Amino acid sequence: MKQINHIPPLQKAVSDAREKGKTIGLVPTMGALHKGHISLINTAEKNGDFIVVSIFVNPTQFNNPDDLARYPRDLVSDLRMLVGHGVEIVFVPAVEEMYPEADTRQFDLSPLDQVMEGKFRPGHFNGVAQIVSRLFEAVQPDRAYFGQKDFQQLAVIRKLVDQLNLDIEIIGCPIIREADGLAMSSRNQLLTPEQRAAAPHIHAVLQKARALKNSRSPRELQAMVKEAINNHPLMQLEYFEIVDDQELKPIVSWDNSANKVGCIAVHLSEIRLIDNIYFH
């Protein structure tokens, strides 16, 4: 496993791998790695890819400077976690490497970037598109791996690849959860012990909503989830939406033939957690 900090040697290493007949798999991360990230890498390893993991906390996708400053960073721990998982290259660029000048590109991601995360974090997905497109340009992967916890992001990236006409397979990998149901997230590291003990309530409420699908309308389930979250003394619901899994349009009736997913964002004090669940 080799750490590379600059794009030219990264591209040379990838080119050498291609000459040996390797396919290139990219796992983009913002560090603070956990078992969810490792599951993406394991999937890439099963596909036989030459694996590149990027670690970069992208400033352009944070609409809140405090959130950017608070985001957990521990490169030593991250590198230690990657050992033994088939990773060939860890790409750890500085901000100046990825953005030698201000990125003023605006991507047309509508309507996917107008709802849920996009509504409450204006500019977030444009920043995601900026960094992901730059990583794709630098690495030229055959496949890129993203976790389904960031469900809306996955939909946005699929649209981005389609718009840019990139020959990259986007692979969504299942949510990895703690034993108590909490979706693994780098932000979990920021939770106090009291908040961490409370956090599994989010997934429990989603599971209850799914269990009640046959007896409640989508709107009734939204009201139930809102009440169940806001009645918890440590939690405040930002949104809970039931949408189709392609265009993220609201589901108003279970008769809709689309695959349906419930997406949620919850504040535990200043820490914001997201999760989702399919309504099968």
What is this structure's pTM? 0.96
pLDDT value at position 42? 98
The mean of the pLDDT values for the chain is 97
Catalytic residue among 34, 37, 203, 280: 37
Q: Which architecture does CATH list for 186-278?
A: 2-Layer Sandwich (3.30)
Query: What are the structural domain ranges in the chain?
Result: 2-173, 186-278
Same-fold call for 2-173 versus 186-278 = no
pLDDT above 70 covers what percent of the chain?
100
Give the pLDDT confidence of 158-201 residue by residue, as tens digits: 999 999 999 999 999 999 999 999 999 999 999 999 999 999 99
Tell the CATH superfamily of the 2-173 domain: HUPs (3.40.50.620)
Q: Establish whether 6 is a catalytic residue.
A: no
SS (H, E, C) the chain: CEEECCHHHHHHHHHHHHHCCCCEEEEEECCCCCHHHHHHHHHHHHCCCEEEEEECCCHHHCCCHHHHHHCCCCHHHHHHHHCCCCEEEEECCCHHHHCCCCCCCCCCCCCCCCCCHHHHCCCHHHHHHHHHHHHHHHHCCCEEEEECCCHHHHHHHHHHHHHCCCCCEEEEECCCECCCCCECCHHHHHCCHHHHHHCCHHHHHHHHHHHCHHHCCHHHHHHHHHHHHHCCCCEEEEEEEEEECCCCCECCCCCCCCCEEEEEEEEECCEEEEEEEECC
